[in-house]
Amino acid sequence: MLSLQEISDRMEIQQAMVDYATAIDTRDYDALDRIFTADAYIDYRAMGGADGRYPQIKRWLAETLQRFPRYYHLVSNVSLQIEGDSARSRIVCFNPMVAEMEGKRQVMFFGLWYLDRWVRTADGWRLCERIEEKCFDFNLPPGVHAGD
């Protein structure tokens, strides 16, 4: 049976997962400050992105995602292991994106997992590491590459 603390921890972490997707999808990149630690390591290379520390990746997201007029991140199937003040999670993400190339719009699809490490801070649970693991991509326009 889960303790009240573990139920609370799980709910807080799962809400942070949804808050991450919402921040990205609404282009509210400053909201990510409440999701990541200041020195978090983020690796989006599996899907053709960048890797680095949080401040660098936050800037990269703001610059890169403006090229896509529409997209969303559907997150689910949370696997979560909590050990004291640290946790690990694996979460599925389905990410359709509209690409605009030479005046034409094309919808491409990405399937991936986020492999995360969490830490409890004075301000609550924060991601200290996020690594993407590729499952699939589909219908990428010419010139768009999703890492392998």
146: alpha, beta or left? (left if phi > 0; alpha if psi -120 to 50)? beta
pTM as predicted: 0.94
Shortest CA distance to 54 belongs to which of 29, 71, 21, 76?
29
Query: Which residues, in sequence order, are CB contacts of 117 under 8 Å at separation 6+?
Result: 86, 87, 88, 127, 128, 129
Residue 101: predicted pLDDT = 80
pLDDT per residue as tens, the chain (148 positions): 999 999 999 999 999 999 999 999 999 999 999 999 999 999 999 999 999 999 999 999 999 999 899 999 999 999 999 999 999 999 999 999 999 888 889 999 999 999 999 999 999 999 999 999 999 999 988 767 676 5
Residue 83: predicted pLDDT = 97
H-helix segments, 26-132: 54-64
φ/ψ (deg, to 5) at 77: 50, 60
Residue 147: predicted pLDDT = 66
Query: Which residues, in sequence order, are CB contacts of 58 under 8 Å at separation 6+?
Result: 29, 32
